[in-house]
Structure 1
C-alpha cells in the first residue's frame, strides 16, 4: 500500500522510483527523485545532534563547512530510530540493520537511521549527492542486502603499511563497508609460532590507532589469529589464545576471527576446532556485550579441497555454536560464487556462508596487476550469505578499484553494474587522470597462466581487432588499414597514458604502487609501434628502415627484460608483466612473423624469438600440474604454491628441459622439517632412463649436488601409497649454461 501511495505521488510530481541516474554508489534500494535542486542556505537548524551518531554528526558539520547553525534556516534532522528528533519519520525508516531514510527538499533534510551505522550511511549518501553547493530534491530508503561487507587482509606477501591501512578504513566508511578483517599472513604475531606472544609496543599502538579510525568510519576492526599450524589441543594453549584475545580487547578490538586455513597435521581436527571455538564463544564473546559474533576460516575452505567422506564440514556444521560465522571461498580456492555452490556449502555448515572472495588477491601471480572489473558472482544469492569480503592485492591503492566494486555488489547485488561501477571506481580514485588510468587498467586485468586456472577478461575492446589482424597477418601476410590504424592508436595511447600517469606520482599513492608496470606498459607500447613500422618497411622493400626498426625493437625488448629482472623481485613470481592476454601476444606474433618473412626474402638469420618458456612441467598432481615455470639466468623453478599440497601416493612431478644441460644442483623446500623419506629424486639424460640422486636435508631444505651430470629431466615421486601433505615453497634446478 505504501509503495502504491508513493507511486501515485510520483505520477503527479514527476519523480522517479528506483532512479538509476543519481550519482550514488552503492546504488540505493529505493529512490524517489523529483525535478529541481536546492541550494544550501547560509544558515541551518540542526535537530537531534545530541542523540545521533557522533561520527555522523561531525562529518555533517564538516560537510556544511562555512554554513552557520542558527534558530532559522533549513531544518536538518539527524538521528536513529527512537530518537525524539526523528520520531515522526519512523515509518519511513527501513526496518533493516544499517538501513536509513534520507529526504531532501527545500524545507528540510532528514537523515534517519535504523541504527547508528544507518545514520552514518545516510550521511555518506548526502555527501555524494552534494555538488557545487546544490542537492537534488530526493527521497531514499536504503539498506544493505548482505550483513557484513568489506575486506580481509589475508594475502601472503608484503603486508600493507600502517598509512595504507588508515586510508583504506576511510575508504570503507565512504563506500558503506562495515568490515575489515586484519589477518596478514606475514604478521608474525598473527600466526605461528608467535601468535601466543603480545605485540611489541610500536605495533600495539599502531593497532590501537587502526581500531580508533575504524570506529570513526563505522568499520568493525576484526583481529584474526592463525594458530592452527602448531596449536596444542590442551588447556595451556587454549588459555594462551584467550589471553591474546584479552590483550587485543584492551587495545580496543571488539571483533575477532580464528583462521585454520592452509595448515596440516593435528590442527586440522574439526572436533577440536569446534571445541576450542565454542569455548571462546562462550567464555569470551558472549560474556562481553560489545563483542560481535566470532568468525572462523575452516581448513577445508573450498569445495575442491573438501572430503565429504571424512565429514570435516558437516562436523563443523553440527558442533559449532550457531552464532559462529564460517568463511568459504567457493568451489575452488579462487572462484566466483554461484547459486549451486552456495547451496552446497550452506547445507553442510547449517548456516549462511561468510564469503571470503579471493579477488583481486595476486599473491600467486605477483608479477601481475589485477585492475579490471569485478564480475562473475551470482547477483541473486544475497540472502544465502552472511558476509562477503574481498581479499585484495598487496598493492593497497590499486586494490581500491575492486574494493569499490565489491562494496557496490555486496550492498545491492541485484542492481550491480560491473562495467559502470569499474569506471566510477577509477573516477573516484584518480579523477584528474581517470581516462588514462581506465585505459591502463583495461589492459592490466588478467592473471596469466596460474595454478588455480582463474583468468579474467583483458583488452576487451581491442580483442576483435587483435584477432582480425593476427589471423590475417599470420596466415596470409595481409591486413586491413583499419585494423592497422587501430593498433597504432592503441600502442600510442599506451605510451601517452603511461607518461601522464607517471606525472601524477606526487598526487596519488596508487601511481607509486604501479610505477614499474607503467614503465613496462610504455615500453610495450613503443615496441608495438616499432613492430608495425617493421611491417610497413617490409611491405615497401625498405631494408634499411626495416633493420633500423628491428634493432630498436631488440633494444626495447632488452629494456623490458631489465625491468622484469629489477623490479618486484619477490621469491615467488618475480618481475613485471603487463598486457599479457591480448596485446603482448599480438606484438610477439607479429614480430616473429615479419622477421621470419624478412629472413626468407633476404636470406638473413635475424633472431625472431621473443620471451618464451622452453621447459615443461609435467605432473599427475592436480595442485601442481598447472603451476607455471620460471627461468632466471641458469635457474629453472616451479612457481611456489601457498596452500597445502596433498601429494597422492605414487604421484610425481617432472621438469623436462628443452635440451641436455650439465646439472649443478637441485634445491627443494617442502615446508616441513621431517626427513622426506617418502620421496625419491631422479634425473634423466634422455627423458627415458632414470637414475636416483641422493639429497641431504637441513630443516625444511633439501639439496642435491649434480656435479655436472647431463640432465634432460628431473623427477620427484612419492614412493609410498599414502598421501603426503606438504608445501611447495621451492623447487629449483640450477644448470650450467
Structure 2
C-alpha cells in the first residue's frame, strides 16, 4: 500500500490543520467547535484540533486481517448509535477499493495498530500524529480530524482501549478534532473476587467483565472464598455444568481484553511435599487451561503455618515460619517448573503469602525471598489487611522484603467485615508513584456486584493515570456512568454511603459519611443557637427532601438496572426514611422556637415513627440479619440530638441512650428494644455470646451517671442472659472502669459519686451456650427526677407515664370509668411552673389536678388532644393527677411532666 493513496483519500483541508498559522478570524466565521468530551480513565495526552468530525450515514472502514474484532465491534456500535447505517469495509491491501471511495469525501475510519493493519500508520502520518510505537502495553493513539478517524494500539488491547475512548468522545455523534496518545501506568489493573460470603452470580460476573472492558481494566481474579472447588475440594475437578459456566466467563473475559486469573487455594489441606498433591494442583490448572485460562494464582492466605497437614512436611521442613516459607516455595517452584514453564503463552504465576499484610521481615519472608522462583509474583495488601495508605516507599520496601514483583490485593471496597454497610466512596490513599514499583493492583469488591462499580471505576481511573487522578471528579464520573439519567439521585444515595475504614485510616479523622449533609447540619445547629435558624433550616430541609424522595427517584431513574436496585434496596429505603425523619426534626425544633408545643409534639411523633421504621429494616448478610447502616455517624446522632433538645424543651432530662452490641439479632428483636422503656419488649441475640462480646448503651456524650439497671432474660427463655460478665463504664470508649461482676439476669448498680460515662456495657468474660435477651437498660443521672405512677384504667407499662422517656407509653386496656385517675408522685414536694401532658393519641379527656398540702386536689385545666401545657403558678406539690372523663377513648400517655419554674 502506498502513502500516496492515503493522501488522496484524506481531504486536502485535513492536512493543513496540522500547520499552525495565525490568520485573523472574520466576524462571520463559524463558531468554534465544542470542547472535547471527558474521557475516562483520564488520558495522558489529549490535544484538541480546530476541525470537527461528524459521523454520517455512510462510513468507510479500513481494517487489516489482524484488526481486533472486539475493538471493531465497539467502533461499529458507536457509529450505528450515531446514525451510520451503511458500512463500506475495505482491507488494508485493497487499493482499488480505496481508490473507488477516495472521492466521496465522507468519513473514513482506520481501525488497527501496527500488528493489525498497515493502513492506520499511513493515516496517522497524514494527520501528522505519531504512531503508538514505544508506548507501554495497552497503549494507543487515537486521532480524528475532518473526515478521518484513526485508532491504533501498540497491541490489540491498545486498539480495544482506543475504541473505548472513541465511544466516549463520539457519544453525541460529533466531536471536535483531536489527537490522543494514551497508555496505562500499571500493567495489571482490575478486580479480585476474594471476599467471604455469598459469591457473585454468573450474571454478576459477566456484567463485571463487560464493565472492566469499558473502563480499561485488564485483570479479573476468580477467587471467591465460598467456591468449594477452590478451597475445601481443591483437588476435585469441576462438574461439567460448572466448568461450562467458567468457560463462558473465560470467553467473555477474552472478548473484553481481560485476563481471567484462576486462583486455587490448597492451603487448608495441602501436603507441600506430596507428589500427589502437586500433581492434583497441576491437573486442576490443566483443566482450566483447556477452557482458555492463561493466568493462574495460588493464594496461601488465611491459613495456619504453625500446623502441618501431613507428617511428611514436618519431617522434610521442620517447624516455624521459615519452614512454612520453605514448604510453600518448594510446592510453588514445582508448579512453576511442571506447569507454567511448559505452557507457552501463560502469564506469570501469582501467589498470596500467609504473611500478606505488613513489611516486617521474618523467617517466613526470608524463605520466600531466597527460595521462591523469581518469576512468581507475590500479592500483598499493604501495611495492614486494609491499608489506609500505600506509599511509594512502602511499595519499594515490599518488593525488597519479599524479593519478588508485587501485585497489590487491595481490600477496598470489600465489605465482608462490615456487612451492614455499603462502601460507595472513591478510591483514595494510594500515592501516584506506587505504580512504578508494582506489577499492578486488584481491588477486592463488595458482595454487591453492581454497587461495587462505583469504587471499581475510580480504582481503574487511578491505575491508568495516577498522576492526574482526582478522586472527587472520578467519583462523580463513576456516579454518572452507573446512574445515567438518575445520576443526581444516585449521588445523594452514594454520598450517604460514602465512608469506610479506608477513609478513616487514610485521613486520620472519624467517619466522613454524608459529606454534603454534615456541613448543612453544622450550620443549622449554629443558627439555632443564635435563635435565627430559618435560612439554615431551609437549606437543610431542601437536602433532606432529596433524601426523602431518593428511593422513588432512584427506583424510577434506574429501573433499567434492577440488579443494582435489589442489591441496595434496604439501604435505599433507610436513606429515604432518614430524610423523612430529618425533615420532621427540623420542623419540630422550629416549632419550639415559635413556642408551638402542639406542632412540635406532633412532629416528634412523625420523627420517631420514621426512625423506628429505618432501624427496623433488616438485610440478610453472611453474619446473619443486620440493620443496614447509612448516613453513618451523621443521621442517627442528628436525630437523637434533635430529640434530646426537644425533650429538654418539654421539661424532660433529654438523655437518649442508644443501644450498642457486638452481636447479631434474632428475627426482628432489634437492639433498639433494650432502650425503648418497655420491659415487655426485648433485644435477642442470634447466637450465644463469645468472650469479649458486649451489650450496652451510648449516651452520646460523657455525663454524670449515678445508677444503672439492666433486665435480661424472659419468661420463656429465663436462662438467656450473660452468665459470666462484668458491668463497665467509660467516658471515651477507651478506658473502662469495672463496676461489678454480672452473673444474674437482673443487674442493679450504683456508680461512684461523680462518675462520668458516655458508654455503659456488659462485657462477656466466659463462654456459655445460652443466647442473650436484654429487656431494658436504664441509666440514671443525679439530676433525673424520679416519680411513682399509680392509678387506673389498668394497662401496659404504667410506669411509662412518668419515666422521663417520651418514647415509652402507658396504654390503658379500656376506656375510663367514673373515678379512674392516674397519679404521679414525686419523692418530695417542689414548686411547679407548669404541667405538660404528652399523649400519643387524642380522644381521652381528663382534668389535670395538683395536690395541696392538706391532700386536696385543685384543677388547673383540661387535657385534650396530644399536647397539653397548663400553668401551675408556682404551686408547691408532690403529686399531679389526671382525673379521666368517663367513657372516653382508652388513654395512651407518653409522659406527664411536672415542670419546675425557670430559674431566675
- 2:239 alignment partner in structure 1: 200
SS of 1:92's partner is: coil
Q: Does 1:568 align with 2:620?
A: yes
User: What corresponds to 1:32 in structure 2?
Assistant: 47
The residue number in structure 1 matching 2:131 is 92
Distance 1:289 1:639 in 2: 54
Aligned to 1:373: 426
Relative distance call for 1:448 and 1:384 in structure 2 (3 A) is closer
- Provide the C-alpha distance between the structure 2 equivalents of 1:11 and 1:81, rounded to a whole number of angstroms: 28
Question: Would you say 1:542 and 2:596 are equivalent positions?
Answer: yes
Alpha-carbon deviation of 1:382?
1.7
Partners of 2:689 and 2:672 in 1: how far apart? 10
- Residues 300 and 430 (structure 1 numbering): CA distance in 2 closer, same or farther, change over 3 Å? same
In structure 2, the partner of 1:466 is: 521
1:300 and 2:366 correspond: no
Query: TM-score when scaled to structure 1?
Result: 0.81
**Partner deviation per Cα, 1:301-320 (whole Å, 9 max, x = no partner):** 111xx653x33223222222
Please give the alpha-carbon distance, in whole angstroms, between the structure 2 residues aligned to 1:49 and 1:639: 67
How far 1:341 sits from its partner (Å)? 2.1
Matched positions, count: 655
| In structure 1, C-alpha distance between the alignment counterparts of 2:659 and 2:46, rounded to whole Å | 54
Partner of 2:772: 734
2:64 aligned residue:
49
Q: 2:162 aligns with which of 122, 127, 131?
A: 122
Deviations along 1:628-677, one digit per CA (max 9) or x if unpaired, are x9999444589999xxxxxxxxxx84747575555666899xxxxxxxxx
Match of 2:204 in 1: 164
Match for residue 282 of structure 1 among 333, 337, 351: 337
* Residue correspondence of structure 1 range 581-730 to structure 2 within 5 A: 581-600=633-652, 609=656, 611-613=658-660, 633-635=682-684, 653=692, 655=694, 659-661=709-711, 682-684=724-726, 687=738, 713-716=762-765
**Inter-partner Cα distance in structure 2 for 1:396 and 1:323:** 32
Aligned residue number for residue 257 of structure 2: 218
In 2, Cα distance between the equivalents of 1:611 and 1:109? 62
d(CA) in 1 for partners of 2:366, 2:463:
27
Q: Per residue, is there more helix in 1 or in 2?
A: 1
Q: Cα offset for 1:708?
A: 5.7
Which of 548, 551, 560 matches 1:495? 548
Question: Per-residue displacement from partner, 1:27-80 (whole Å, max 9, x unpaired)?
Answer: 111122112311223334333331222222233333333232154143332223
Change (3 A) 1:372 1:592: same
User: Which structure has the greater CA radius of gyration?
Assistant: 2
Residues 261 and 296, structure 2, Cα contact 8 Å, conserved in 1? yes
Residues 1:518 and 2:580 are matched in the alignment: no
Q: CA shift at 1:561, angstroms? A: 2.5
Distance 1:459 1:452, change over 3 A: closer
Deviation at 1:477, TM superposition (A): 7.6
Q: Contact 2:427/2:455 (CA < 8 Å) preserved in 1?
A: yes
Tell me the distance in 2 between the aligned counterparts of 1:731 and 1:106: 77
The 1:732–1:447 alpha-carbon spacing in structure 2 relative to 1, beyond 3 Å, is farther
Contact 1:327 1:354 in 2 (8 A): yes
Aligned CA RMSD, in angstroms, stands at 3.5
User: Residues 139 and 158 of structure 2 are in contact (CA less than 8 Å); yes or no, is this contact kept in structure 1?
Assistant: yes
> How has the CA–CA distance of structure 1 residues 524 and 181 changed in structure 2, closer, same or farther, with 3 Å as cutoff?
same
How far off its partner does 1:396 sit? 0.8
Where 1:47 maps in the other structure, the secondary structure is strand
Given candidates 153, 156, 181, the residue that maps to 1:113 is 153
Give the whole-Å Cα distance in 1 for the aligned partners of 2:553 and 2:184.
38
Give yes or no for the alignment of 1:69 onto 2:84.
no
Distance 1:529 1:630 in 2: 22
Q: For 1:355 and 1:52, how far apart are their aligned partners in 2?
A: 33
Q: Aligned to 2:772, what secondary structure does the other structure show? A: strand
1:200 positional shift: 2.3
Flag the 1:262–1:10 CA change in 2: closer, same or farther, 3 A. farther
- The residue number in structure 1 matching 2:327 is 272
Structure 1 residues 9 and 63, CA, compared in 2 at 3 Å: closer, same or farther?
closer
Equivalents in 2 of 1:417, 1:451: separation in Å? 19
The offset of 1:736, in angstroms, is 5.8
Partner of 1:311: 363
What SS does structure 2 have at the residue aligned with 1:110? strand
- Separation in structure 2 between the aligned mates of residue 733 and residue 477 of structure 1, nearest angstrom: 49
TM-score relative to the length of structure 2? 0.67
Structure 1 residues 78-87 or 330-339, which shifts more? 78-87
Deviation at 1:450, TM superposition (A): 12
Deviations 1:370-401 (A, max 9, x none): 11222221123221111111111111111111
Aligned to 1:34, what secondary structure does the other structure show? strand
8 Å CA contact retained: 1:211, 1:253: yes
Bigger mean CA offset, 231-240 vs 504-513: 504-513
Hey, what does 2:512 align to over in structure 1? 457
Gaps (5+ residues) in structure 2?
1-14, 24-33, 90-96, 309-320, 664-670, 675-681, 697-707, 729-737, 749-760, 776-904
Assess, with a 3 A threshold, how the Cα gap between structure 1 residues 50 and 594 changes in structure 2: closer, same or farther: same
Cα drift, residue 105 of structure 1: 1.7
1:328 corresponds, among 380, 387, 397, to 380
Q: Partners in 1 of 2:209 and 2:721 — Cα distance?
A: 42
CA-to-partner distance for each residue in 1:287-338, whole Å, 9 max, x for gaps? 11121111111111111xx653x33223222222222111111111112322
Q: CA deviation at 1:261?
A: 1.4
**What are the Cα deviations for residues 549-572 of structure 1, in whole angstroms up to 9, with x where unaligned?**
222222222212321xx3335425
User: Which segment drifts farther, 253-262 or 499-508?
Assistant: 499-508
Give yes or no for contact 1:101–1:141 (8 Å, CA) kept in 2. Answer: yes
